[in-house]
Copies of this chain bind each other. A is one copy, B any other.
Amino acid sequence: MIRPRSISGLREFLPAEQITFNRCVEIVRKHFELAGAVPLSTPAFELREVLLAKEGGDSVDRQVYGVHRLADGGEDTDFALRFDLTVPMARFVAQHAGELVFPFRRYQIQPVWRGERAQAGRYREFIQCDIDVVGDQTLSLITDAEIPAIIDGIFKEMNIGPFQIRMSNRKLLEGFLSGTGIPSESISDAMRVIDKIDKVGPDEIRKELAETYTLEDRQLDQIMAYVSLRGPAEEVIEKLLSLAPADSLNETYKGGVEELTTVARAAASLGLTPETFILDLSVARGLSYYTGTVYETTLVDHPSIGSICSGGRYENLAGLYTSRKLPGVGISIGLTRLVTRLMEAGLLPVEQATTAPVLVTVLDQGKLDRYLTVAGLLRKAGIGAEVATEQRKVGQQFKYADRKGFKLALVAGEDEFAAGTWQVKTLATGEQVVVEETRLVETLKGMLAP
């Protein structure tokens, strides 16, 4: 006999957890679709040459899993599992550009795989939820405002407590830093340092900047004051021109101010308010891939969870695969980690181990056809129902109902069958009502309405 076990670092959920997880997936999908995004599903593995086109030897590459037929052996395999959803999307868009309508608004909710060393909170398989809008040659800046509006809808409906979508524009920090004395070839690096501010705190950042670059205290003060600027869009935008020293008012910076202003204004029109949506000039996103708008999202009461979704604007999606210029903007939610942490923190309810609200109990085994008939009727009417066919004793049936978390139990015996009625028991309260069979569907629908 083989000991049944799974591979460490590969998260799987028990039924009640999976139901909670799936509810989150459905919320994400709903809001992606409300914004008109179409679903995309790409195969789990791609040609290695295509998947790893970007560069060899970096940290992601080393984590990538190869795939081979066991019968063929594993050397020189051509196939590799995707490690994110952006590369497969870029490949798909480049390959099928002639068959797509642009702007291509797509979402993708699929697992990705990374050969991480197994440790807490690091998964070798996790579900990512990505939305991107990709334009052909150009893409309106207004689209950058849609992304946080979608995210706002998702986390509000998930009901996970106060959160902040923090937005900035990389051109601001880039322009600002180039006026502070940091050499232009180091600006990308400096931005990567600043991007860690929420993780390591401002003092650490200041220290690292001071050690790495030749900066006077006055300059460090300026940088730290600048990257600490966060708040409602209107307030921050007002300070953008006054706070920056004259040296920083270059074209890059001014371009950033203009873009950020446009996007923030459109975001307000779409219904975003400072309660959940702020500007934060420390948001830089480590990846040089992003060229304009950038986003991070954090839970106000749970900063230790870190950013729960992030993304931004990029100038060209698929330059590795096509000469067609495809600018885009997008965001990604790492749902496996997020939901796991939220469940651990008690921020997401994990309660039911059934997807059906109604258990049809069986009092009289000789009348099984009656119980089955009513279950069939309920299901046809869209009400989930299970028949307690396993447990002979009614007490055991109710115990089963409790363990799985059914909301209602139907009970009927000789008397009820003679009268054409059902007893409907609300399991949480024990309350019981008698309902005529002809009105059963209608009554249950009313009792189960949220």
The reply to whether B64 and A369 contact each other, CB–CB distance below 8 Å, is no
Residues A61 and B70 in contact in the complex (CB < 8 Å), given A10-B45, A355-B37: yes
**Separation of A75 and B149 alpha carbons in the complex (Å):** 48
The reply to whether B75 and A70 contact each other, CB–CB distance below 8 Å, is no
**Separation of A53 and B6 alpha carbons in the complex (Å):** 14
* A404 contact set on B, CB distance < 8 A: 101
Residues A18 and B46 in contact in the complex (CB < 8 Å), given A70-B65, A375-B270, A385-B34: no
Residues A4 and B66 in contact in the complex (CB < 8 Å), given A142-B372, A269-B368, A353-B38: no
* A390 contact set on B, CB distance < 8 A: 102-103, 135, 138-140
Does A428 lie at the interface of the complex (its beta carbon under 8 Å from any beta carbon of B)? Answer: no
Q: SS class of chain A's interface: helix, strand, loop or mixed?
A: mixed
Residues A1 and B321 in contact in the complex (CB < 8 Å), given A75-B75, A373-B269: yes
* A90 contact set on B, CB distance < 8 A: 4
The count of chain A contact residues (Cβ–Cβ below 8 Å) is: 119
The reply to whether B106 and A15 contact each other, CB–CB distance below 8 Å, is yes
* A380 contact set on B, CB distance < 8 A: 153, 271
Most chain B beta carbons < 10 A, residue from A66, A153, A321 = A66
Q: A387: which of B37, B100, B125, B142 is its contact (CB, 8 Å)?
A: B142
Q: Which residues of A contact B (CB under 8 A)?
A: 1-7, 10-15, 18-19, 21-22, 31-50, 53, 61-75, 77, 79-81, 90-92, 94-96, 99-103, 105-106, 111, 113, 115, 124-125, 135, 138-140, 142-143, 145, 149, 153, 265-266, 269-271, 318, 320-323, 353-356, 368-370, 372-373, 375-377, 379-380, 382-387, 389-390, 400, 403-404
